[in-house]
Amino acid sequence: MVEFKVSTESGSGRGEKTTDYSTGKIFWWASPEQQLDLLRIIGWKKTLYHLSTCGRSSSSSDSLLTRDKIPKMWLKLASFCVLLAYVYSAEPRHSRPYSLSLYNAGRQQDRGKIVCYYSAWAYSRPEPWDYDIEDIPGDLCTDIIYSFVGLNNQTWELFSIDPEYDLEKGGYKRLTALRGKHPHLKILLAVGGWAEGGRKYSDMVGEKSRRDTFVRSALKWVTDFGFDGFDLDWEYPGASDRGGKYSDKDNFLKLVEELKAAFEPHKLLLTCAVPVAKFRLQEGYEVPRLAELFDWINVMTYDLRGNWAGFTDVHSPLYKRPFDQWAYEKLNVHDGLHLWVSMGAPKHKLVVGVPFYGRTYTLGSKENNGLRAGIKKWMDGGLPGPYTNASGFLAYYEICPHVNSGAWTKKYDDIGKCPYAYYDDQWIGYEDEDSIGIKMDYIREQGFGGAMIWAIDMDDFNGVCGRKNALLEVMNEKLRGYAAPTPDPRQTTEGSTLSTSKWWPPRASESTTQQTWWPPASTKSTTVWWSPNTSTTPRPSSGSGSSSGSSDRVVVSPYDQPGAPDCKSGPETRPHSERDKYYWCIEDRPVLMQCESGSFYDPSKGKCAWNPFFNRAGNTGYGGYHHQFRTYLGK
């Protein structure tokens, strides 16, 4: 008889441990995909032979087929044929190695989705925080996304951004090879990212022939290198400040439909990274149809604040705080996710983004160090870290040693559910084990698909602050045994007011005054929190670790004054009494914008226009148009 010798643990819904295989029974505790893998491995001919013998032994007393055995034989044979037909009809056309490590695979499937983005430039960071594929804890992720490949704006095909690492050093192949040790993993390839810009993607989707070339190229890259799918990270369709066009919304949908049609015969996954700002969704995303096409959606619920805002704040607040107004009123995890739900996305397909990094600031005054404190915006954020080397940005492994040293004062945003810390004129808003645990509880209670990480290479993978990969471990502990309910009942209305039935509603007595999370050390070190680098020049955008690369982004702070326009109807931009200013309507609220020096607002264009007599960078008579504002959202 066929012996599927698969060891199992007791409990957890996987069946009791069995050590007697003499009956030849098939133990179906494994997932359907694992069962299919086993049948592929053992071969169907041997299985068919053993089924046809119906367990006969060589002894003469058992060698004859009795009448009671014949029906059993044919029943088993028929059942096997049905299963066999399903196995080979489901065989993907792109091949990859299979593994017999089914115990480990079954164990890893027993949790919510944990999608780990891997930034492929992390290997170039200084030791000991250089991070390579062999450092990835494959057992702690359900999916890994390799970031990024680029788009050639001449051929409209994909290209390797770092061919030495991706190809010569085998980055792609080494990552997909992780499935040999961790067969539960799905490994995807991502295209785009903040540094790639948006104009060429807009140009590509605008013509059918270019889309066809892109689709063929994407399919070839994914199948040739053995990936399980493809992740779209165009930031963002329809974004005029990123080179986008009004037609991007329809054309992006066409691209996704064409990719889906090409991928389905190969059983490849198709996913996307998306923002949470309402105007971004309105500009570029046909939410209901896209939600049908994508296998899941990675929601970038981080970088919601930063140096570009002009004040200190945590960048991934869970809920709206009383001081969040105007453009920032709905820029929080809860409202951002429920905006997607209200526009037609089912909860089980929404994977909640969690940052493994902090946003940093240089305070304007050391005495004013709470939330929404003034900053020196021209400093472009806080000091660069010794390993990520980017202003306004620190990896978690750069944050935790200094916070744990006692030199820094650590406090807690009691409504946003995120920690922040300050020392001297430096300020950080970030995530830690406690805040990530709260977000995982929220995911379970709300019924979302799971969690996504940007990026796995910024966890404390050396264990300098405690256990290794502490943030990722918390996610696994909290999501163990969880499966998002499907199908999701659609909610007709979404609001920012929290129901009293929520898992953790804000207390009615909460104020905006933040309390110290735990008492600061009685004495504080007067030494610099780390030795400054000899050069403070930031790395290229990839070195920051975030795909947003948002250190150069600018947005004018929300502004309210008598006489501001009614934004509930009419054009997106409105004139101001001063010609070098105008109003930008965001979510039905006016935000005051400032044109660049030497330009003025042109109502006929809805943009800032250059004065033809103004000498800009030595070019008199520059006639181009320019939006002063840039996005304050990103990956």
Per-residue DSSP letter, 363: B
CB 371 within 8 A of CB 390: no
Angle between helices 32-42 and 69-89 (to 10 degrees): 100
24 φ, ψ (degrees, to nearest 5): 75, 20
Closest Cα partner for 334 from 443, 414, 455?
Answer: 443
Give the gyration radius of the chain's Cα atoms.
28
Geometric angle at alpha carbon 43, from 37 and 46, rounded to 5°: 140
| HEC letters along 101-131 | CHHHHHHHHCECEEEEEEECCHHHCCCCCCC
Asked whether the beta carbons of 333 and 316 are under 8 A apart, the reply is yes
Distances (CA, A) of 130 to 16, 391, 462: 43, 19, 10
d(CA 235, CA 217): 20
Sign of CA dihedral 165, 168, 173, 174: negative
Task: Using DSSP, state whether 449 is helix, strand or coil.
Answer: coil
Q: Which residues of 567-593 are buried (b: 16+ CB within 10 A; e: fewer)?
A: beeeeebbebeeebbbbbbbbebbbbb
Angle (nearest 5°) at CA 503 between 502 and 504: 95
Distance, CA of 593 to CA of 612 (rounded, Å): 21
Strand partners, 602: 607
Give residues with Cβ within 8 angstroms of 14, minimum separation 6: 8, 29, 106, 110
| Residues facing residue 452 across a β-bridge | 115, 353
Total H helices, total E strands in the chain: 15, 22
Distance (Å, whole) CA 60 – CA 55: 13
- The Cα 18–Cα 10 span in angstroms is 9
Active site members = 235
Of the candidates 477, 492, 465, the residue with the CA atom closest to the CA atom of residue 398: 465
Which distant-in-sequence residues (6+ apart) come within 8 Å of 407 by Cβ?
423, 521, 524, 525, 527, 529
CA-to-CA distance for 232 and 223, rounded, in angstroms? Answer: 16
Per the CB < 8 A criterion, the answer to whether 505 and 467 are in contact is no
CB 538 within 8 A of CB 384: yes
Nearest of 627, 563, 620 to residue 595 by alpha carbon: 627
Of 139, 140, 144, the C-alpha closest to 119 is: 144
For the residues of 183-195, what is the DSSP string, one character each?
TT-EEEEEEE-GG
